[in-house]
Amino acid sequence: MELMHYLTLSAILFSIGFFGILTRRNAIAILMSLELMFNAVNINLVAFNRFINPGEYVGQIFAIFVVVVAAAEATVGLAIIILIYRNWRSIDADRVNLLKW
């Protein structure tokens, strides 16, 4: 396994996540796509740490912070989705379109 393999995996995951955000209608699926993007970053960080400077832990520490932040974001995200469900009886992001120009 070389660095390039990890980076390719990460780039593919990131792209899938980004594609998911743009195309998914279900708010939960959008949240899952977001998690994919954050995890792609984590793979990047840990792989760089392992192959570029294995003596230090900066990349791994960064990854831990990203995990924590992603968890916080998912928590708030789920709370907001519950709020959306209570107001609309649906979590279809396309139906949530009160505000527009």
DSSP letters spanning the chain: --HHHHHHHHHHHHHHHHHHHHH--BHHHHHHHHHHHHHHHHHHHHHHHHHT-TT--HHHHHHHHHHHHHHHHHHHHHHHHHHHHHHHS--BTTT------
Contact between 66 and another protein per CB under 8 A: yes
Of 19-38, binders to another protein (CB under 8 A) are 21, 27, 30, 34, 37-38
Could you say which of 16, 23, 28, 65 contacts another protein (CB under 8 A)?
A: 65
Which residues contact another protein (rule: CB under 8 A)?
7, 14, 17-18, 21, 27, 30, 34, 37-38, 40-41, 44-45, 48, 52-53, 56, 58-59, 61-62, 65-66, 69, 72-73, 76-77, 79-81, 83-84, 86-88, 93, 96-101
